[in-house]
Amino acid sequence: MVPKEKTWLRGAEAANETGNTADALTWLNMVRERARNTVAAKNHEADKVAGIPANVTTTNQDDLRDIIRHERRVELGCEGERYFDLARWHGTHGYDLEEIIENAYLIAGPDYELTTNAQASASETPRNGLNIDVVIPKHLVAPIPQNEVDLTNGVVEQNQDY
């Protein structure tokens, strides 16, 4: 079952991209309303701040797009959605999937060493030996199941690089 927040954020994104910012605001603010009314964790009731997150009111499509994309990142954290969002947004509004993936290891973590020189660190290999090899456009699409290709007698062709 798809969580309602994921569906609401898809609705917000779709409405905004089709120019219907009023509907996008409705979908987005449903997510924020749910967040405001979620019960605080045990022994953390005092941490909850009334009215946060506030309703969004802007109807500027570009501003709303940025807000929705940020909301997806926050609301769907740790649900495995980030990569697919980045792949879908690749090449639009400053999203470069290849650059994001290649530089992801620059974020401090237990298996990585950082240097103060970002230029030098981009060419270094993390201590755990992980090398990230990004192949665009292969990573923007998924492979088509072979049985689907076979059922069409070759009318449907496999995606490039698979």
59-113 residue pLDDT tens: 999 999 999 999 998 888 888 888 888 888 877 877 777 777 767 666 655 554 4
Instruction: Please name the residue that has the structure tokens 């798809």.
Output: 2
Q: How many domains, the chain?
A: 1
Q: Are 29 and 67 in contact (CB under 8 A)?
A: no
Task: Kindly state whether residue 123 falls inside one of the protein's structural domains.
Answer: no
Task: Kindly state whether residue 6 falls inside one of the protein's structural domains.
Answer: yes
Task: Kindly state whether residue 43 falls inside one of the protein's structural domains.
Answer: yes
User: How far apart are alpha carbons 154 and 4 in whole angstroms?
Assistant: 38
* Cα 156 from chain centroid (whole Å): 29
* Cα 146 from chain centroid (whole Å): 28
Q: 33, 36, 30: which is closest to 12 by C-alpha?
A: 30
Task: Kindly state whether residue 109 falls inside one of the protein's structural domains.
Answer: no
pTM for this model (two decimals) = 0.64
Task: Kindly state whether residue 110 falls inside one of the protein's structural domains.
Answer: no
Task: Kindly state whether residue 100 falls inside one of the protein's structural domains.
Answer: no
Instruction: Please name the residue that has the structure tokens 């665009």.
Output: 136
